[in-house]
Structure 1
Amino acid sequence: MQQRSTALIAPILIVACSVAQAETFTVPAEVGFADIVAVSDAVRNECTLQTRLPEFIKDGARGDVDIVISDEPLDNVAGKVLRLEYVNILGAGGGAWSGPKSATVSGELWENGELIGSFVASRYSRGGAFGGFKGTCSILGRCIRTLGVDIARWLGDPTMDARLGNA
């Protein structure tokens, strides 16, 4: 009888430990552009890069970490907070016909006022298959979708001065 009760308890303990291991990170609902970024008004206003990256980070986490997207200022949030900023966008209009597109993001991970991790992440694309038929926003979207996965993976084991993606 003792083996049977142990067999029932072991899976429960494994599930409880798995749930406890997922850390929670807060990311901003909107990622801003550094003052040095020369991005066209069309890309800035039409591509919605600012709000799509946080969603891609959340999607890329796949349960490894818990991502909370916050509309409130991150200064008001306790726990682990990821500050993000676009530091470079290469995205001339004209889709793939106007050359490759890229996005570069810097991030700092803070916990209760202490910097515990940082990175620069970059991805570029020429549009992939049928790239000539895709618009600039679509191609930049591919870049930031992959950046979201890169960043989510980094959150699983954050380090200082990490280089992610093509950075």
Structure 2
Amino acid sequence: MSALLRSFAVVSLIAIGSAAQAASYQIPENIGYKDVTIIPSNIVDECKELGRQLSGSLAAELTKSGAEVQRVATLDAAAGPVIDIKISNMVSAGNAFIGHRKSASVWVELRQGSEVLGAKGFTRDTMGGAFAGFKGSCTVLERAVLVLGKDVAQWTQSIPLRTGATAPAPAASAP
């Protein structure tokens, strides 16, 4: 076998081994509120896509780093590690004319089976950015949740998963 072919074979085996060890996380397809009664009603009524935008950002960031992601309606910790994330608080003060003062917070638990591997709260504040133009409150809050998705993805990947439990268990065969 030529040296070039051997090198290709080694690189291929390493890539296959890395892909087999990549985590497969479940995340909610639409991230809800931890307690909707503490979220200002104007945010709940007007900014209906924030949960999906947060989920999309988290999924994209995890995928970029090589993790497998399943966006699901209901989390199933028995099927692999789950990222149980809820929007815990939102603040929407100001407007496009006097300046925005917005904040988004999330509470995250990384679970594998019945074990909580880690739990953490994250908050991002934004004023809409310099020269942001006349943007609405939902657009400014979207900026905050997109960055929160990146924050949560980084944190999630810093927590080691239990070995042998990163993929769903094989289905039992019938007798």
TM-score, normalization by structure 1: 0.82
SS at match of 2:141: helix
**Residues 18-97 of structure 1 mapped to structure 2, 5 A cutoff:** 18-35=18-35, 38-47=38-47, 48-61=49-62, 62-71=64-73, 73-75=74-76, 78-92=79-93, 94-95=95-96, 97=98
> Paired residue for 1:162?
none
Which stretches in structure 1 are left out of the alignment for 5+ residues?
Answer: 160-167
Equivalent position amino acid for 1:146 in 2: V
Equivalent position amino acid for 2:46 in 1: E
Cα distance, 1:36–1:69 mapped onto 2, change above 3 Å? closer
> Paired residue for 1:164?
none
Equivalent position amino acid for 2:11 in 1: P
Residue 45 of structure 1 deviates from its aligned partner by 2.7
Residue by residue over 1:23-66, the C-alpha shift from the partner in whole angstroms, topping out at 9 and shown as x without a partner, is: 11101122222227532333113222122111110112214322
Aligned residues: 158
TM-score, normalization by structure 2: 0.79
The reply on whether 1:133 has 2:125 as its aligned counterpart is no
Root mean square deviation of aligned Cα: 2.3
2-structure distance, mates of 1:57, 1:140: 16
Runs of 4 or more consecutive aligned structure 1 residues displaced over 4 Å after TM superposition? none
**Bigger radius of gyration, 1 or 2?**
2
Residue 14 of structure 1 deviates from its aligned partner by 2.2
2-structure distance, mates of 1:106, 1:99: 23
- Identity rate of aligned residues, in percent? 30
Which stretches in structure 2 are left out of the alignment for 5+ residues?
Answer: 161-175
2-structure distance, mates of 1:39, 1:132: 26
The reply on whether 1:113 has 2:114 as its aligned counterpart is yes
Cα distance, 1:102–1:14 mapped onto 2, change above 3 Å? same
**Residues 125-164 of structure 1 mapped to structure 2, 5 A cutoff:** 125-158=126-159
